[in-house]
């Protein structure tokens, strides 16, 4: 089980959070200009990196804020956390 250090609540178990997806994906600037294939790729296609990955997590059973978590997918070590949209704090 992961322990995620919430910037507001401190170290908490993964079970208090809901995974919110890949934080490295940006919404297209002009969605109406996309064709079906591009829109489908934006919605469904994600990388499956081995190593450092940026993710969104929602602290459902705590402060109810969205976090951006930098996590190593190989070791499951959490490298840094921040509130989504704010600078990161962490060990690296
Ligand atoms: Zn929290």
Phi-psi region of 85 (alpha: psi -120 to 50; beta: other; left: phi over 0): left
User: How many A from CA of 87 to the centre of ligand 1?
Assistant: 16
pTM, full prediction: 0.83
User: How many A from CA of 49 to the centre of ligand 1?
Assistant: 26
Report the number of distinct structural domains present in the chain: 1
Is residue 78 very low, low, confident or very high in pLDDT (cuts 50, 70, 90)?
A: very high
The CATH number of residue 40's host domain is: 3.30.2270.10
Q: In what order do the strands lie in the sheet with 18-22?
A: 18-22, 52-58, 66-72, 78-83, 89-90
User: How many A from CA of 32 to the centre of ligand 1?
Assistant: 36
Full residue range of the structural domain in which residue 86 is found:
3-25+36-90
Tell me whether residue 31 is in a domain: no
Q: Is the pLDDT of residue 92 over 60?
A: no
Looking at per-residue confidence, does 88 or 33 come out higher? 33
């Amino acid at each position: 089980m992961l322990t995620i250090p919430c910037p507001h609540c401190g170290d908490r178990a993964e079970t208090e959070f809901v995974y919110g997806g890949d934080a490295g994906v940006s919404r297209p600037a002009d969605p109406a200009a996309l064709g079906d294939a591009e829109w489908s790729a934006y919605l469904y296609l994600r990388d499956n990196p081995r190593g450092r990955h940026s993710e969104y997590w929602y602290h459902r059973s705590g402060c109810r804020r969205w976090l951006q978590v930098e996590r190593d997918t190989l070791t499951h070590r959490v490298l840094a956390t921040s509130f989504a949209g704010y600078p990161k704090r962490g060990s690296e």
